[in-house]
């Protein structure tokens, strides 16, 4: 569920069935944060600033992978062009999270990853989520 927030921000309430995830993506020019409200989520992210446009395939350096487990009441903030994936790895428990973005998401770039190779697969705009 997508909600308008104060000062031009937006918030999302997301339910995570067992075994679900986002796939690798970024939030373009938006900064954001998310909090696990129930259950446990795992975030895999890249500790590197990637070029924002003009590429389709990137070879990643070793040592840039980060992994976090976020239980109920735990969250994290992130800056522009933060590439990550969020997963509910439980096979039995649902999870719920709240996400906030400013400015509202102008687009989401989706990636595939094979080993150290990150490939831009698609760009989604808000009208794609309506």
Range of the domain at 112: 2-129
CATH number assigned to the domain comprising residue 95: 2.60.120.10
CA–CA distances in Å: residue 89 to residues 7, 42, 69, 118: 34, 7, 10, 22
Q: Mapped to the 3 state alphabet, what secondary structure does 29-77 carry? A: CCEEEEEEEECEEEEEEECCCCCCCCCCEEECCCCCEEEEEEECCCEEE
pTM: 0.90
Q: Is the per-residue pLDDT at 91 higher than 80?
A: yes
Q: What are phi and psi of 46, to 5 degrees?
A: -110, 125
Tokens of 128: 């794609």
Task: Report pLDDT for 51.
Answer: 74
Mean model confidence pLDDT for the chain: 91
Task: Report pLDDT for 6.
Answer: 80
Identify the residue with better confidence: 15 or 55: 15
Structural domain tally of the chain? 1
Any residues with CB less than 8 A from the CB of 14 and at least 6 apart, and which?
Answer: 96, 97, 98, 99
Residues paired with 112 in a beta bridge: 119
Q: Is the per-residue pLDDT at 30 higher than 70?
A: yes
């Amino acid at each position: 569920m997508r909600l308008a927030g104060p000062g031009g921000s937006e918030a999302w309430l997301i339910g995570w069935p067992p075994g679900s995830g986002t796939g690798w993506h970024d939030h373009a020019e938006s900064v954001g944060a998310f909090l696990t409200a129930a259950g446990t989520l795992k975030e895999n992210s890249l500790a590197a600033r990637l070029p924002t446009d003009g590429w389709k395939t990137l070879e990643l350096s070793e040592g840039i992978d980060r992994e976090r487990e976020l239980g109920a009441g735990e969250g994290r903030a992130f800056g522009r062009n933060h590439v990550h994936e969020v997963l509910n790895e439980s096979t039995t428990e649902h999870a719920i999270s709240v996400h906030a973005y400013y400015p509202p998401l102008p687009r989401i770039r989706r990636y595939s990853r094979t080993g150290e190779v990150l490939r831009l697969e698609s760009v989604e705009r808000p009208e794609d989520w309506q």
